[in-house]
């Protein structure tokens, strides 16, 4: 099997498991709905205040659901004792990483689309012209989160207190991605064009490239034994 086919096989396996069990997506969708309540209760009903913090809160929602989703990346294999099976995959192990990354990216984009939709309905945001630019920022930001998240999830899957360690490791590293996405989202929602936030977009692209490349190079080391 070629490298791409092997990566695809991993992604397809996870998709098939998820399609039949729906355990991750169902719970995540419910969780993001609950987040909406939490934000509403903690921030109060003041529309103006809400509008000012909306970009931050939106990304807080993305990050919280990402922490739950990404942290589970390798738990399917752990819980069902298939870890060795995954390790037996022939050839370069980074194909496993790519497959898992693709799966995580797809899962998170689905959840994020839903959260964004809920925000539009419940918090009355006018996406309007901001949507194309916002899609670029969300896509790049999610890739950054998922790239490091998938790598770290492979480590914390084998560690005690993994639910705690995963966010503790991931959040500090993701500060640049968070700052870039929140600042860019803020500007876009104020009606500025994507060109006005070009420096943030470039930073996100640089972050994505660095995270994906270093993960591909080091994933082999993480999976050993």
Residues that bind other proteins (CB under 8 A): 148, 151-152, 155, 158-161, 165, 168-169, 171-173, 175-176, 179-180, 183, 199-200, 203, 206-207, 210-211, 214, 218, 221-222, 224-225
Listed residue (116, 135, 15, 132) closest to 65, CA to CA: 116
Q: With respect to other proteins, which residue has the nearer C-beta, 139 or 165?
A: 165
CB of 158 to other proteins, least distance (A): 7
Task: Answer left, alpha or beta for residue 81, where phi above 0 means left and psi between -120 and 50 means alpha.
Answer: left
Listed residue (141, 129, 124, 73) closest to 103, CA to CA: 73
CB of 25 to other proteins, least distance (A): 28
Q: With respect to other proteins, which residue has the nearer C-beta, 38 or 171?
A: 171
Query: Three-state DSSP class for 94?
Result: helix
Q: With respect to other proteins, which residue has the nearer C-beta, 28 or 170?
A: 170
Distance CA 204, CA 140 (A): 6
Q: With respect to other proteins, which residue has the nearer C-beta, 119 or 211?
A: 211
Q: Are 86 and 96 in contact (CB under 8 A)?
A: yes
CB of 64 to other proteins, least distance (A): 18
**Tally of CA atoms within 13 A in the half-sphere of 72 that contains its CB:** 19
CB of 133 to other proteins, least distance (A): 18
CB of 117 to other proteins, least distance (A): 28
Q: With respect to other proteins, which residue has the nearer C-beta, 53 or 159?
A: 159
Long-range contacts of 202-207 (CB under 8 A, 24+ apart): 203/176, 204/137, 204/140, 204/141, 204/144, 204/177, 204/180, 205/140, 207/144, 207/176, 207/177, 207/180
């Amino acid at each position: 099997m070629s490298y791409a086919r092997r990566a695809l096989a991993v992604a397809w396996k996870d998709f098939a498991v998820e399609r039949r069990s729906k355990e991750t997506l169902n719970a995540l969708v419910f969780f993001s709905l609950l987040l909406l309540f939490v934000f509403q209760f903690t921030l109060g009903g003041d529309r103006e205040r809400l509008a000012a913090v909306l970009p931050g809160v939106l990304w807080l929602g993305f990050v919280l659901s990402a922490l739950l989703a990404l942290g589970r990346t390798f738990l399917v294999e752990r819980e069902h004792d298939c870890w060795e099976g995954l390790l037996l995959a022939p050839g370069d192990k980074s194909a496993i990483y790519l497959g898992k990354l693709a799966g995580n990216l797809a899962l998170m984009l689905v959840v994020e689309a839903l959260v964004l939709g809920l925000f539009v309905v419940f918090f009355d945001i006018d996406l309007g012209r901001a949507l194309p630019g916002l899609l670029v920022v969300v896509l790049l930001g999610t890739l950054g989160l998922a790239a490091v998240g998938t790598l770290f999830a492979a480590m914390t899957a084998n560690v005690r207190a993994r639910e705690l360690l995963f966010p503790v490791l991931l959040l500090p590293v993701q500060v640049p991605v968070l700052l870039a996405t929140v600042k860019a989202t803020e500007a876009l929602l104020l009606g500025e064009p994507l060109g006005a936030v070009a420096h943030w977009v470039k930073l996100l692209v640089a972050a994505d490239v660095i995270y994906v490349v270093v993960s591909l190079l080091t994933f082999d080391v993480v999976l050993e034994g």
